[in-house]
Amino acid sequence: MSSAPPPRPNAGPAVALRRLATRALGVVRSVPVLHRPVHALAERIARHPAGARLIRSVLEPHALDPAAYARWIARCDRLTPADLAAARDLADRLAAKGPLISVVIPVFDPDPAHLEAAIASVQAQLWPKWELCLADDASPGGATWAQLQAAAAADPRIRVVRRGTNGHISAATNSALALASGDFIAFMDQDDLIPPHALLEVAAELVRHPETDLIYTDEDKIDGRGRRVEPHFKTGWDPEILLSQNMASHLTVIRHSRVLEAGGLREGLEGAQDWDLVLRIARAAGPEGIRHIPAVLYHWRQAGRASFSETAMARCRAAAARAVNDHLASSGQAASARAVEGGPAWLEVTRDLPGPAPKVSVIVPTRDRADLLEACTRGLLEATDWPDLELLVVDNDSAEPATQALFAHLALDPRVRILPAPGPFNYSAINNAAVRAATGDLLVFLNNDVEVRDAGWLKALAAQALRPEVGAAGAMLRFPDGRVQHAGVALGIGAAGVAGALGVGAGPRDPGPSNRLRTARCVSATTAACLAVRRSVFEAAGGFDAEHLAVAFNDIDLCLKIGALGLQVIWTPGADLIHQESASRGSDLEARHAERFAREAAWMRQRWGQALDSDPFYGLNLDLSGGDWRPADPPRRPRPWALPPEAWEAKVTPRDKDKTP
């Protein structure tokens, strides 16, 4: 077990330049006097195409233009002759014990060329045990039915049926399901494509993890020029994201018996029928029966005849809200979902607070910097909507008269206590001691350089942290200019390769890739600059590690311990605050902190090891140089045909889900 970050390959001058520019931008943001001259320089650089691309990569750190994605595909997502040979060999070895997969496609008045290409992509599969089931949903004229009949006549693995009346996508999919005899059902649309190795990847995953009931994969789109664009590199299973968007979507493969038990697709939910099915299957299977394959195994065509979601947007959005609200009611969750601008893909979920609202203890460590502390406490005491709050200001040897005057003023408020914590700064020990003095059932750890910008922030945070399945909840933190400073934490990125913030530098209105900056979601960790934890959970996890993690990574360690208890860690954009990061104490990367920082990073490596390199809520397809959701080059996940022989004999437990390729 290594006590230091693993070496990283040379990423090339372009990536190095982007990283340098990103660091420089961070310096600029911390020094207001630099803003105007740097912006003027940026305008001059932007006049050159290469400069414009560089600026876009810094200011929109998650953006991936078609040309950049095409280069990634060429380097990282092509099957070489050696890949094809190894994949065919693996398919031959697994065929005896692997599943029969039924691909089902509802068909209605398609573009003939697109339908032909979809069928051909299934026929090109390297996995030999498949069948294709297509249902013609009473397409007008006879051309579509003739095309399907010709395909079935030419290939005995293709089964077709023609419906007498148009019943829409749910009914048509169920008609296709009635033809299926496979162990698993793969859902596909009439004009989309799957790459040749898609079903082999699925079959290999099922052989290694036979307890699996539902598999979903990464996906991208095909634009009007036939280019692959807009990749969606997904996370491991996240029941919180699933309430706001259909994170499974394409390619989804479900055990046939589970589909039958669920009664197939529900009619009346057209436009969200697949989302509804995934919600119902997930409820029955549980997280241990769900797996994510971090590979782009589905190409969703965005050109051609308008889809139902494009022609009946309002109906799709209503269906999505109904599906999620039905799920919330069936699973006993006190929450509601409503459609928001942006189409049927996104829902806004509001969670109810349990009544009566518990007492909240907000713990704010500080040392001088009365200007920061005054702004922080004013927001807590005057601008936060919460009925029962106590504020514990933990003083670590403040000496300035302004700070002492502020303490005297704060002490006049019966909700406030000033707790002395003398001696060398030890964040973990200071907060552990404050918890022992606190009287609230919900603890909120807050830095003294955090400012309240919305009265409802604590309600949004508490609504997550008080859920029994959740152990901790973190907030959206922004720089004073509104750009994102912290949108959750990913393991393995940042200084020392331990952990780093997600979404840094994204604009105030930037939704992030796949709406991740607007959607509550599971994370492996979140910063204690604003962190809510139930007292019982904090104590069960053993609190902060004061012995080994005095300053850095103590919040990451706490969140990982909470995760080890089987509880979720949630990041929510509903709690939206300003954070003047490290304004009072300084950065961990300063020379005076370097030795201590390296020691604490080494301890995290020793304690958590490989878990830091395979964060299920970030993804093996994503780059570890920063939390901007860019694809890794090369991906860290080996393809199944590159695994050693012993991998096919290993017993993988449900707890290993999404940690293995």
Residues with Cβ within 8 Å of residue 5, at least 6 apart in sequence: 496, 497, 498, 601, 605
- pLDDT tens-digit profile of 369-414? 999 999 999 999 999 999 999 999 999 999 999 999 999 999 999 9
- pLDDT tens-digit profile of 494-508? 767 899 999 999 999
324: how many CB neighbours lie within 10 A of its CB? 26
Question: What pLDDT does 636 receive?
Answer: 87
- Establish whether the linkage from the previous residue to 634 is cis, with ω within 30° of 0: yes
Largest CA distance in the chain: 89
Closest by CA position to 248, among listed 209, 298, 193? 298
3-state SS class at 130: strand
Contact between 473 and 598 (Cβ < 8 Å): no
CA dist 56 and 64 (Å) reads: 10
- Establish whether the linkage from the previous residue to 356 is cis, with ω within 30° of 0: yes
Closest by CA position to 375, among listed 594, 167, 577, 644? 577
Question: What pLDDT does 549 receive?
Answer: 92
CA dist 334 and 313 (Å) reads: 27
82 has a pLDDT exceeding 90 = yes
Domain with CATH 3.90.550.10 in the chain: 81-306
Domain with CATH 3.90.550.60 in the chain: 360-613
CA dist 396 and 427 (Å) reads: 10
Question: What pLDDT does 50 receive?
Answer: 57
The bridge status of strand 416-420 relative to strand 389-395 is parallel
171 has a pLDDT exceeding 80 = yes
Give the confidence band of 317 by pLDDT, cuts at 50, 70, 90.
confident
Mean local confidence (pLDDT), 337-357: 82
Q: Burial letters for 72-87: b for 16+ Cβ neighbours within 10 Å, e otherwise?
A: bbeeebebeeebeebb
Residue type, 424: P
Question: What pLDDT does 37 receive?
Answer: 59
φ, ψ for residue 328 (rounded to 5)? -60, -45
3-state SS class at 594: helix
Question: What pLDDT does 444 receive?
Answer: 98
Contact between 570 and 527 (Cβ < 8 Å): no
Q: What is the rounded average pLDDT for all residues in the chain?
A: 87
Question: What pLDDT does 496 receive?
Answer: 76
The residues pairing with 105 across neighbouring beta strands, listed in sequence order, are: 134
Number of helical (H) and strand (E) elements in the chain, helices listed first: 20, 22
Containing H/E element for 478?
A: strand 470-478
Answer whether CATH 3.10.450.50 is correct for domain 81-306. Answer: no
Question: What pLDDT does 235 receive?
Answer: 94
Containing H/E element for 460?
A: helix 457-465
For 587-648, the three-class secondary structure string (H helix, E strand, C coil) is CCCCHHHHHHHHHHHHHHHHHHHHHHHCCCCCCCCECCCCECCCECCCCCCCCHHHCCHHHH
Question: What pLDDT does 628 receive?
Answer: 84
Fold of 360-613: Spore Coat Polysaccharide Biosynthesis Protein SpsA; Chain A (3.90.550)
520 has a pLDDT exceeding 90 = yes
Mean local confidence (pLDDT), 635-643: 92
Residues with Cβ within 8 Å of residue 477, at least 6 apart in sequence: 450, 484, 485, 486, 487, 527, 529, 530, 577, 578, 579, 581
Q: Where are the beta strands (DSSP E) in 523-648?
A: 530-534, 568-579
Closest by CA position to 292, among listed 228, 257, 242? 242
- pLDDT tens-digit profile of 97-117? 999 999 999 999 999 999 999
Contact between 219 and 658 (Cβ < 8 Å): no
Give the confidence band of 616 by pLDDT, cuts at 50, 70, 90.
very high
CA dist 276 and 215 (Å) reads: 15
29 has a pLDDT exceeding 60 = no
The residues pairing with 366 across neighbouring beta strands, listed in sequence order, are: 395
CA dist 5 and 424 (Å) reads: 28
3-state SS class at 204: helix
Cα 442 to the center of its chain, rounded Å: 26
